[in-house]
Structures are given as C-alpha cells and as structure tokens.
Structure 1
Amino acid sequence: MPATGDTAPDFTAPLANGDVDAITLSDRLDEEAPIVLAFFPAAFTGVCTDEMCTFQDRLSAFKDVDATVYGVSRDSPFTLNEFRDQNDLEFGLISDFNGEIIGDYDVSMDFADLGVYGVAKRSVFVVDSDGEITYSWVSDDPGVEPEYAEVEAAVDDAA
C-alpha cells in the first residue's frame, strides 16, 4: 500500500462530473494539486453517502487552498453521476469499475457474507503537485469515516 512519501500510483479512469470524461491523475497535478482521493465502498449506502456529503459540506475549506477533492469507487460512472445528482455533490467521482486503482492503492476489501468482492476500503490519500502522497489514511472498518479536520490539515500542509 502506498504510504506517505511514496509516489502516488498514476491512473486513467472515467470521471463522473455531470457528464462522463476521462481523468488521468498525473495530468491533473499541476492545476489541481493538492488532490484528495477519497475511496469509498459503494454509492447509495449509508456511511458512504454521509462521507461524500461531509466532503461536500467542507468543500470550501479545500477550495480555499486550491485543492481538489475526488471520490473513488467501483461504481459505474453512470451510477456515480446519479449519486452526485441526488446528493448535490459538486466534486467529481472517479469510477474504478475494473478495480485497477483500488488494486494499485492496495485498498481492496470484500463483503464475503454479501457476495461482494473487491470494493474500496474507506481511505483517503492527499497527493501534492509532485505526485507524492503527503497523507494517507486507510480503515479496515467500513463504518468509520475519516477525521475530516485531519484531512483538511494535510491539504493545508501540501498546498
């Protein structure tokens, strides 16, 4: 699993932003860093909805330091656009439908009792303009949300 000080694994994936575009992390670093990658297991579930809505509620703190927030999940980009619409999310959601990003960041988890495999552990990575991870948090408990003030402080430090 990449940790603080490591180079963030690069990726290209569909971006649900009201439309469906492609996003390549390395192409966004100059203009959008620091970048917050907030991995979550699944759209339209209780804790995931709470988490993404909390990022939305705190979005101004990230914008104040020119940081960019992206949610990342295995959901399709079409599902993620509907999730954005229903929750009035102003930031983009990255569709890792094939699980490649989740694998590269080593944050895969299973809900074997439900027959669900390879979804994202709830985790947050902050990536600076050099592509370095300056903050990482990974939870083995899908019911635990990140410490948002800690993420904001990490973004302030990376800005």
Structure 2
Amino acid sequence: MPETGDAAPDFTAPLANGDVDSFTLSDRLADEAPIVLAFFPGAFTSVCTTEMCAFQDRLANFNDLDASVYGVSRDSPFTLNEFRDQNDLEFGLISDYNKEVIDDYGIAMDFADLGVYGVAKRSVFVIDADGEITYAWVSDDPGVEPDYDEVEAAVENAA
C-alpha cells in the first residue's frame, strides 16, 4: 500500500462525469493537482453516500484550493453516473470495475459474509503535481468516514 511520500500508482480508468470519459492520473496532475482520490466500497450504500455527499458539501473549499476531487469504486461507470445524478455530485467518479486501481493501491477488502470480494477500503489519498502522495488515510472499518477537515488541511499543504 502506498504511503505518504511514495509515488502514486498511475492508472487509466473510466470516468463517470455525466458521460463516460477516460481518466489517466498522470495526464491530469499538471492541471488538476492536488488531486483527492476518495475510494469507497460501493455506490448507493449508506456510509458511501454520506461520504460522497460530504465531499460535495465541501467541494467549494477544494475548488478554492485549486484541488480536484474524485471518488473511486468498483461500480460500473453507468452505475456511478446514476449515483452522481441522484446525489447531485458535481465531481467525477472513477470506475475501477476490473479492480486494477484498488489492487495497485493495496486497499482491497472483502465482505465474505455477503459474498462480496475485492471492493475498496474506504481510503483517501492526496496527490501533488509531482505525483507524490502527500496524504494517505485507509480504514479497515467500512463504517468510518475520513476526517474531512484533515483532508482539507492536507490539500492546502499540497497546493
């Protein structure tokens, strides 16, 4: 699992942004960093919905810091677009349908009792313009949300 000070694993994945586009992390660093990658287990679940809506509520603060926020989950880009629409999310959601990004970041977890395997642990990474991880938070408890003030402070420090 990458930690603060490590190079962020680069990736290309579908981006749900009202349409479906391609997102390549390294291509976006120069114009959009710091970038917040907020990984969540699944769209339309209670804590994940609360978390993504909390990022939406704070989006103006991130925009003021010239930062970009992206949610990341195993859901399909079509599911993520519906999730965006139903929750009025203005930031893009990255579909890691093939679990490649989750594996590269080392944050896969299972809900074996539910028969669900390889979803993202709730995690937040802040990545600066050089592609360095300047903040990393990973929870082993899917019911715990990140400290949003701490994420904002990390973005401010990375800007």
TM-superposed deviation, 1:155: 0.1
- Asked if 1:20 is matched to 2:15, the reply is no
Q: Which residue of 2 aligns with 1:79?
A: 79
Give the secondary structure class of the aligned counterpart of 2:66: coil
The amino acid across from 1:86 in the alignment is Q
User: How far off is 1:137 after superposition?
Assistant: 0.1
Question: Does residue 153 of structure 1 match 2:156?
Answer: no
Q: Percent identity?
A: 82
Residue type matched to 2:35 in 1? I
Q: CA deviation at 1:154?
A: 0.1
Alignment partner, residue 92 of structure 2:
92
Give 5+ residue unaligned stretches, structure 1: none
Deviations 1:11-70 (A, max 9, x none): 000000000000000000000000000000000000000000000000011000100000
Amino acid at match of 1:54: A
State the Cα deviation string for residues 53-97 of structure 1 (Å, max 9, x = none): 000000011000100000000000000000000000000000000
Q: Would you say 1:138 and 2:148 are equivalent positions? A: no
Counterpart Cα distance in 1 of 2:65 and 2:102: 27
Q: Which residue of 2 aligns with 1:58?
A: 58
1:33 matched to 2:33? The reply is yes
Distance 1:56 1:107 in 2: 23
Residue in 1 that maps onto 2:106: 106
Distance 1:61 1:39 in 2: 19
**Long gaps (5+) in structure 2:** none
How far residue 133 of structure 1 moved from its aligned partner, in angstroms, is 0.1
TM-score (norm 1): 1.00
How many residues are aligned here? 159
Question: 1: CA distance between counterparts of 2:16 and 2:158?
Answer: 25
Task: Name the SS for the 2:72 alignment partner.
Answer: strand
Q: C-alpha root-mean-square deviation of aligned residues, in Å?
A: 0.2
Residues 106-125 of structure 1: CA deviation (Å, up to 9, x unaligned): 00000000000000000000
- 1:157, CA displacement in angstroms? 0.2
Structure 1 stretches of 4+ with a deviation exceeding 6 A read none
Query: In 2, Cα distance between the equivalents of 1:61 and 1:108?
Result: 29
- Amino acid paired to 2:37: L
